[in-house]
Structure 1
Amino acid sequence: MHADDATDEFDGTASGRCAPGLHLVLLLEGNLDLSYGNRRVVLTTACPRSAHEISHGWPSCAQAFLMNAIEPETFSRRIHRGNYARRLSFVISDQWLQHLQEASCAAMPARLRSLLSSHLLAQPWQPTPRAIALAEQIVRPPAYEPILQAIYLESRMLDLLAEALAPPRGSQSIIHNIAQTNTTGLSPRGYCRMAELRAFLSGAAANQLSLEDMARQMGMNANTMQRQFRSAYGTTIFDFLRESALQRARLALERDALSIKQAAALAGYTSPANFATAYKRRFGVTPKLAQRSGQR
């Protein structure tokens, strides 16, 4: 599994090998330009939404696809300076799926059978609000202990895979299904409001506001806002802000060669010692070690 939320810093091409198996790629925001062998896939969320999506409050133009690789293939991603992408991808081996089929004593669903019999056939998939919420939780998981975080991530990846492989439904069926099975407890409109709040929290201005100030800005009760945000993203507003601050500090230490005192201030800590404790608890290394690794 790979998940990131980053802006490209240079132009170029990142290349590697694509492992055999069923690949799921979901772009939450931004642009992706990928190639698997000779198969090129370009995704962008900078697209107009349909009247149906707007009227039902669908949160974004998130894009996704499923593709199976029967054998190893070359993989490349074209990088453009300033390009932003918040996305996730993971691969499920054919052996695991076959084992699951045997254990359940059930026939392979037609769509999955079709995918597994084709090499590098990309099938587009329009993520539902529930799928987007699951993806957001994978990209920004809570700061659990390693084994608990692994359990958390695996449960959401399997849930997301089930969403992706479910039989396609008509637009009315989709809306009905969201109302019946959306485990986030949010309507599409409610999730859209939480996506707006998340975008606001990612900016520096949010650090200067109290929870009550944020709630007033969103036109909501503070307790309701907290509950809905946790439902959508699996974390509290406070933990999200702290995680964002620590991630900014980490990038500053590794890339910009800031001092530990400067990184602590950037993350909102007045005490470098308290910052170092929080940093090590989150990333498993001290800020000093992170600083040295960035200077190599």
Structure 2
Amino acid sequence: MGIERFPGNFRVGVLNQRVDGVMAEDGKLVEPKVSLLCLLSGRQKFQLGAQEFAMDATQSPTALLFQTDAALPVRFLENRGNPLIKTAVSMSPDWMQVIGVGRMPSLISGAGPLAYRAWKPGSALVALARELVENEAKITRMALGLDLFNGALDDLRRRADDHAVLMQHAKHYISQNLHRQISSKDVAAACGVGLRTFQRLFSQYEGVGLGTYLRAERTNAGRDAIERLGLSISEAAYRVGYSSPENFATAIKKAFGVAPSHFRQRDERIGE
């Protein structure tokens, strides 16, 4: 990969050639940085620290944005493409403060010194990456590199906004349909997204699995039905979508450590 270096440790790299195998030696340390990789054609697999990344652009371009806060070893596992077309824009983490982004907590995620986000870039971002590949003038590549990085942030922000609306719709659907014995598959279908994709998105944006959230909503609503509305255990069970009072009692016991009757007794004690 040809890399252009600019003041402030800003770097822009372009690769456009046939590749069939690993191109770099293992054991190199990657210094703390923010890096945007856009793979337009081919496949690439590498390990950064303990995290393995597999980028496949054989069907459509793919992108990866990551930030490291410590030096991490990199191990290259695969580089293949005829041609392999890739752009890389990298900078020191200090740049994030300059442009007012910080560690980008709402755009990338991860534990420890590595945070990242992989996604399928929009058409505008892909067009910018292709323009960067085609232009060889150094000053033009610097300008396009900055445009590409800012375009990636905009792309992710739009997706975050769209996903926030999607999560609100999902939670509203759940709250309005607990009585129907809905499943995770029902929630995903109501949102117009495939189950596996929606489960991944829900976990990423809500910090809890979809099934876990659905069970918690049911048990919390069931407890509230007994405690606040004064329903019987059977009435509460069917109100929140359980097929039998026995299944409801098991779920309440698992969630709160007590039988449903505990909340009815508590309600009666409060009313004395």
**What TM-score, normalized to structure 2?**
0.46
Highest RCO, 1 vs 2 (Cα 8 Å, sep ≥ 6) = 1
Q: Which has the larger radius of gyration?
A: 2
More strand, by proportion: 2
**What TM-score, normalized to structure 1?**
0.43
